[in-house]
Structure formats: structure tokens, C-alpha cells
Amino acid sequence: MPKTDTILSTKSLHYFLQLIDTMNYTQAAQILGITQPALTQQIKKIEHAIGTPLFGQMGKKLYLTEAGKQLQTGAIKLLGTINSVVNDIQEFTQADKGNISIGVLDSVSSELLRKFLIRFNQQSPDITINVCYFNRKDLWYNLDNNLIDFGLFYVPANIKKSQVNLHNQYEYMQICEDRLTVLTHDHELEAGKAYSFSKFMDKKWVAYPDNFYLTQLMKEKFGSKINAKNGMKVPLSFSSTEQLVETAEETSYDTFVSSSYYQLHKSEINLTPVYIEGTPEYSVSIIYRKGKIDVPRIKSILTELKKFLDE
């Protein structure tokens, strides 16, 4: 008996399934671009390999035998698996196809990223991009577990001290330098100027939740405790920057955002933007696991992003 691994090839199974679609040797052969005798011979080889007929005939009409039905089910699964594997390989090796998953820190202003993704989509329409927003803990979890391809983070200027293992496990690309910006109701303060921390001691704040990076920067100034007697007074907090600013404008409370967010939305904001002296510097950066750059589509999007930022 001929070996099934030489007879049951992807080509022969494709011929078999095409004959099932038409139940007509002549039509199937025409669709496949081969002669009818060649198709007949291929089907007979399969039947000989498995030892039983796949098709029966009633008058001029073909029908599938029970063995044929079983082989049909197996052939569909097998070819589906092969096609899936090939697609996965092509997605890994091709720069213009596949999926890219991006995680964004929920307090980061991602308008620049959004504008870039529109352009990138026009250049590479066969790449599907999914953007999700996370708090810092969940963003790191998704990055660590390879659930996203890269993340958009706030990165402290002293990155080597604050992220000890970053250079061992990850690469990063700076998007822009950023700065904590206070939005105040105090019109005696001049926009764009930096003031001593003492100017802000007695103010009440609308703030991000306690675990957000910008809130942690403020806590470094006020001390670790929020709403303590001598700490930072935060009657209201929101994870949404838009809600943060709107609430500050509708109350007497001050707030703080990233400079990049303010620059993008300053025409909509009526509060005065100022800075606190000595606030640590940071940047908005793309962070990705080492090795991700070897995936062509990841290399392609990061290369195009750098061009976009240079422009």
C-alpha cells in the first residue's frame, strides 16, 4: 500500500475538497486547471492509500461515502491548521501584514500617537492596530506577559535608577520630553513661570488617582500622604484627564496635567499653566521587549513613528 504521507498531500486534499464542491469531475478539473483524467487519477490514489472508496455514484450523480465524509472533516481541519500556521508565519515575517497591539498609560496624552496611527494605517492598510489604555501596573503586566507589542509610558529622567531592569529586558524610544504642569485659578501667577512649592501648599486639588505617575510626582513635593493634615488636599480624583480639567474649571480646585496635554488643548483650557520648581523631569516613551524589533511589522511601525516625530 502506498504511504499515506506521500498521497495525502495538501494538493491532493485540495483536489478532493474541490471535487466535493462540484460533485462533477469535469467542472472540478476546470476550476483546478488540470485535466479530468489527472483529477480522477489523484482521487483513485487517495482511495487506494486509505483502502476504501470516497465517492459512490447513483446514475450520473456522485455522492460521498461515509469514508469520504470522515476524510472531508479531517481534510478541512488539516488544511485549516496549515493555512493558520502559514498566516502566522507570514504575519511574523512580513512588514505590511499582521496585528499590532499598543498599550497606553491612561494619563498620557495620546493625541500625537492617534494622528500617527491614521497616517500609518494609510501606508499599511493590511496591518490591524489595537490601542488599549491601562493604569501603570496593568500596562507593565501586559507588556511583561507579551499581551501587547509595546507600551506608551511616562519615563523618569533618571531611568537607570528608577527602572533597574529596563535596560536588561526592554528597549525604549523617547517620543517627547514632558513636564508636570499645574493649572491654577490663581491669576496672580504668570503663565509659563516656575514657582516655589510654598505657593501651592494651601491649595485643594482635583487629581489623578493615588497610583498615577503625575500624582506620585506631586506627592514627592507634598509628602507621601494625601488628605493628611499637612499633606496634599484632594477632595476629588479622576482617571480621565478631560474630566480632571473640566472639574477644576467648574470648582475652585487647581489641578495638574502633562505639558504635552496642555499644549494640545490649551485653546480649550481657561486656567493658568505654571510649574513647580524642582519637579523631576520625565519623557513620554515607547517601551518594548527586546527582540520585538526583529518582527518586521514592529520594526516598520517604530521606524515610521521616528520619521513622523522628526517631521
> Is CATH 3.40.50.2300 correct for 98-177+283-310?
no
276: nearest Cα among 163, 209, 203, 180: 180
For residues 76 and 125, is the Cβ–Cβ distance under 8 A?
Answer: no
Q: Where are the alpha helices (DSSP H) in the chain?
A: 4-7, 10-22, 25-32, 36-50, 66-93, 111-123, 136-144, 159-162, 166-169, 213-222, 241-250, 259-265, 296-310
For CATH 3.40.190.10, list the domain ranges present in the chain: 98-177+283-310, 180-280
pLDDT of residue 90: 59
pLDDT of residue 86: 65
Topology, domain 180-280 = D-Maltodextrin-Binding Protein; domain 2 (3.40.190)
pLDDT of residue 294: 83
For residues 167 and 138, is the Cβ–Cβ distance under 8 A?
Answer: no
Cα(284)–Cα(174) distance, integer angstroms:
6
Pairing of strands 233-237, 170-178: unpaired
For CATH 1.10.10.10, list the domain ranges present in the chain: 4-93
pLDDT of residue 161: 41
> Is CATH 1.10.10.10 correct for 4-93?
yes
Q: What's the grid cell of residue 118?
A: 491614521
- Mean pLDDT by 10-residue block, N- to C-terminus, for the chain (311 residues)? 60 87 88 88 89 90 92 84 67 76 84 90 92 86 85 75 55 86 93 91 90 84 61 88 94 93 90 91 86 87 90 81
